[in-house]
A and B are shown apart, each in its own frame.
Chain A
Amino acid sequence: MSTIIIYTILTLSIIGILSAIILYFVAQKFKVYEDPRIDQVEAALPGANCGGCGFAGCRAFAETCVSRGELSDLFCPVGGNDCMGGVADILGIVAEKKDPKVAVVRCNGTCEHRPKTNVFDGAVSCAIAASLYSGDTGCQYGCLGCGDCVVACDFDAIHMNPVTGLPEVDDEKCVACGACVKACPKTLIELRKKAPKDRKIYVACRNMDKGAVARKSCSVACIGCSKCEKECKYDAITIANNLAFIDSDKCKLCRKCVSVCPTNAIAELNFPPRKIAVAEEVAPETGKIKPESSEN
């Protein structure tokens, strides 16, 4: 009985040792060299795997960083400059500083600004609603309100406001990964340069119809009148397809454009209240057309 046990142990040990030797040589023969820096870079990244950099997860991004050896087109929006600085240290180069960005929703078509013309009761998905028809209001460019952007966000940074029916970005949480930008079938969401104190000036409208048509469907639509373009001293505003666009890289946040906009289409967020004198000065010009319910 005991001999059987001994023989069994011996045979198994010999097989084990032989296999180990074979495996060792095979492993040496078929060894794939991997740059150890890939692991280091991956460790320096946030590990969110959000795809905001344009690659399939942090590992793929790390591999690209190491294989290219330079970081000109590569940026992790989640980690920001600090993280990219760390990556650059590992690679022994200097990272270019990039301005942090934040997502903004360019539609202010709340229920009172943009009356509903019909009801959509199909599957709750903006992609489906957009493929079936132009939307439940007269504006075919505006927010559909089904919340595809909310589903797409991995960082809990965008939420539907039940009162306005529009998504709102939480500036603290937004990492500008761009998932919501891709999810929105109406391309309403834009990544804009982050300003001090999260101050924002942007045209909260994507309506490219002619002024009269746009105005009919939504009271805060951009009508492409180009008043803001003329007012802007910094060439930050351009008009194309009956729609104004403010370049966040050029905008100095002077708020002059907000005062001249006849439809209140330019949103200003997180600014201190204006001085009364200024308000009185602009009131006669804009007071007539501006809707009673002012935004913000």
Chain B
Amino acid sequence: MLKSFKIGGVHPAENKLSAQKAIEVLALPKSVFIPVGQHIGAPAEVVVQKGDKVKVGQLIAKSSGFVSANIHSSVSGTVKKIESGPDTSGYPKTGIYIDVEDDLWDEQIDRSTELKTSVTLDAAAILAKIQDAGIVGLGGATFPTHVKLVPPKGMKAEVLLINGVECEPYLTSDHRMMLEHGAELIVGVQLLMKVLNVAKAAIGIENNKPDAIKKMNSLLTGNNGISVVPLKVKYPQGGEKQLIKAVTGREVPSGALPISVGAVVTNIATTFAVYEAVQKNKPLFERVVTVTGKTVKNPSNFRVRIGTTISELIDAAGGLPENCGKIINGGPMMGKAFANTGIPVTKGTSGIVMMPDGEAKRKEVMPCIRCSRCVSVCPMGLEPYLLMTVSEQEIWDRAERECVMDCIECGSCSFTCPANRPLLDYIRLGKGKVGAIIRNRKN
């Protein structure tokens, strides 16, 4: 029997429309807008000025603390202005506008496609390279990777988990990455193992990607401690805590970090970025984005420079479908809708999903019928109906007692509710309020 997390979970229609489409390199945009706050933590500090000439891979905003990340130019050209522009939610965020001229790369970057397997650097040097390259969790959470790789005092990593689950419907970027860059990923895993000083690593892949499982298995040579773990097809198998439970059988305690059970989880795209940063000196300035949807002419996987406007990706995939009701940043389960098409691709943009009008619209909200389906599907063992009620009534102390902070916002409850109740909307609101209360208490 395949491994899986135990409680809850749903199985939404997979719709992996672009699974057989090879990664294409998107044409260079005419101009880019690179926000300085693309990660969890403090926004980076701009180090270029208006009118400066920049090269591809040049540092343009410097990390402003430990929990922060460097930002590099994704194009070569002239800095047009440093001003605020739209982020995913439509709120303005400071960023750097660059007009593209040519495609001049920083000389340090090794642009050859040759595979470099020899790991010559020591752990500290690898970690420094990861930090310099501005690598963050590319699955969507955008937590700075170098922070994750330094366990807090008294804790020791025992196992490295590579998240190749990609349980969100529609998204295929990690799947394609495994098929096309498997060998590089194995090197990336070895680099991360060296940093963490662990002997074991497991690549978790959902069983609906048999080609990726076969490919990765074929690349495992000898006794290097890496294994491939096929996992049951169930959402949210790729949730950090769910993956740890599925692969290691350990449960992360409420309010604790994965490192408390000795696990560190990184995503496939992040592992590839680590390979490129360490072996090829290439900072994180491009990523693979799935552009898809049922009515999209040509669902594709694009390698895109950070800062490219999403409208350019949509055009490349055959244009905005006529009946498009919603454009989602990420997958349809957890992703949030883009406010408009003038928003740039950031480090956290894993997919752009265009939903047809009929599917995108929420259905009429009915009263709760006490069927408790939300309780049975919650992978964290919470009671979503209760969390929604207390959030709606602003009873924050009760929300805290009912462990609202343990919600991973997977959306299984809203997905399954037969009364179409906006469960996750209210739980997220409660999580925000309770989180603020807890932070205030600590200060």
Which A positions have Cβ atoms within 8 angstroms of B? 117-118, 121-123, 125, 127-128, 131-135, 140, 209
Contact = CB atoms under 8 A, between A and B. Distances in A.
18 contacts: A118-B339, A121-B362, A122-B425, A123-B365, A123-B426, A125-B425, A125-B429, A128-B426, A128-B429, A131-B429, A132-B336, A132-B337, A133-B91, A133-B336, A133-B339, A134-B86, A134-B339, A140-B91
B89 A133 contact: yes
B153 interface: no
B90 A135 contact: yes
Given A117-B340, A133-B337, A134-B91, 14 more contacts: A117-B339, A118-B337, A122-B362, A122-B422, A122-B425, A123-B365, A125-B426, A131-B428, A131-B429, A132-B337, A134-B86, A134-B89, A134-B339, A140-B91
B361 interface: yes
B92 interface: yes
Nearest to B339: A133
A68 B317 CA distance: 70
Nearest to B388: A123
Contacts of A135: 90
Nearest to A117: B340
The 4 closest A-B pairs by CB, nearest first: A134-B90, A123-B422, A123-B425, A133-B89
B297 to A, nearest CB: 23
Contacts of A118: 337, 339-340
Contacts of B92: 140, 209
B432 interface: yes
B51 to A, nearest CB: 21
Contacts of A209: 92
B133 to A, nearest CB: 30
Contacts of A140: 90-92
Contacts of B90: 133-135, 140
A118 B340 CA distance: 8
A132 B426 CA distance: 11
Contacts of A125: 425-426, 429
Interface residues of B, number: 18
Interface of A is mostly: loop
A128 B425 contact: yes
Contacts of A132: 89, 336-337, 425
A122 to B, nearest CB: 5
B432 A131 contact: yes
Contact of B361 (A121, A127, A131): A121
A32 B225 CA distance: 71
Interface of B: 86, 89-92, 336-337, 339-340, 361-362, 365, 422, 425-426, 428-429, 432
B41 to A, nearest CB: 19
Contacts of B426: 123, 125, 128
Nearest to A133: B89
A49 B92 CA distance: 39
A122 B337 CA distance: 11
A182 to B, nearest CB: 11
Contacts of B337: 118, 132-133
A239 B428 CA distance: 36
Contacts of A134: 86, 89-91, 339
A37 B338 CA distance: 58
A118 B425 CA distance: 18
Nearest to B428: A131
A19 B353 CA distance: 75
A140 B86 CA distance: 10
A139 to B, nearest CB: 10
A121 B355 CA distance: 14
A132 B90 CA distance: 9
Specify which of A122, A123, A134 lies most central, judged by the most chain B CB atoms within 10 Å of its CB.
A123
A118 B362 CA distance: 14
Nearest to A136: B339
A207 B426 CA distance: 27
Contacts of A127: 429
A122 B339 CA distance: 14
Contacts of B422: 122-123, 128
Nearest to A135: B90
Contacts of B425: 122-123, 125, 128, 132
A209 B336 CA distance: 25
Contacts of A133: 89-91, 336-337, 339
A262 B337 CA distance: 35
Contacts of B339: 117-118, 133-134
B35 to A, nearest CB: 14
A42 B365 CA distance: 42
A125 B422 CA distance: 11
A131 B91 CA distance: 10
A122 B89 CA distance: 14
A131 B362 CA distance: 18
A58 to B, nearest CB: 20
B124 to A, nearest CB: 40
B369 to A, nearest CB: 18
B405 to A, nearest CB: 16
A116 to B, nearest CB: 12
A103 to B, nearest CB: 20
Nearest to B340: A117
A121 B359 CA distance: 12
A122 B388 CA distance: 14
Contacts of A122: 362, 422, 425
A122 B423 CA distance: 10
Nearest to A208: B92
Nearest to B431: A131
Nearest to B423: A123
B365 to A, nearest CB: 8
Nearest to B362: A121
B267 to A, nearest CB: 24
